[in-house]
Amino acid sequence: MRQEIYAESVQKVRELNKKSRLSGKRNAAKFAVNFFADLTLEEKKKWAGLQNPDLKEQSYGKLYHKRDDKGRRLIADATHIDHVKDGIMTPVKS
């Protein structure tokens, strides 16, 4: 099972690198596999520390899609967002 997951991850990385090269950008992104390459989606979510998937949707909408009285989108200053304090993420584990 792990070998199949890893092989899929490697294939995705190859496809992303190909798209990146074809973009023609001088500083195009370069992708590589890491120690998450053989983990299932559920295992990756566990590592990410998302405590409550429902909160993610609610918080995203609250933080990034509020509008003022004129209908302009208000985007929160990302330097002041603390998802650990908000209870959405756990502290860094590794």
Domain borders along the chain are: 1-48, 49-94
Rounded distance between C-alpha atoms, residue 34 and residue 14, angstroms = 13
Q: Is the pTM of this model over 0.85?
A: no
In the chain, what percentage of residues exceed pLDDT 90? 31
The number of helix segments (H) and strand segments (E) in the chain equals 3, 2
- pLDDT tens column, 30-54: 999 999 999 998 888 888 776 565 5
Name the 3-class secondary structure at 57.
helix
Cβ contact 94:49 at 8 Å: no
Contacts of 13 (CB under 8 A, 6+ apart): 31, 32, 33
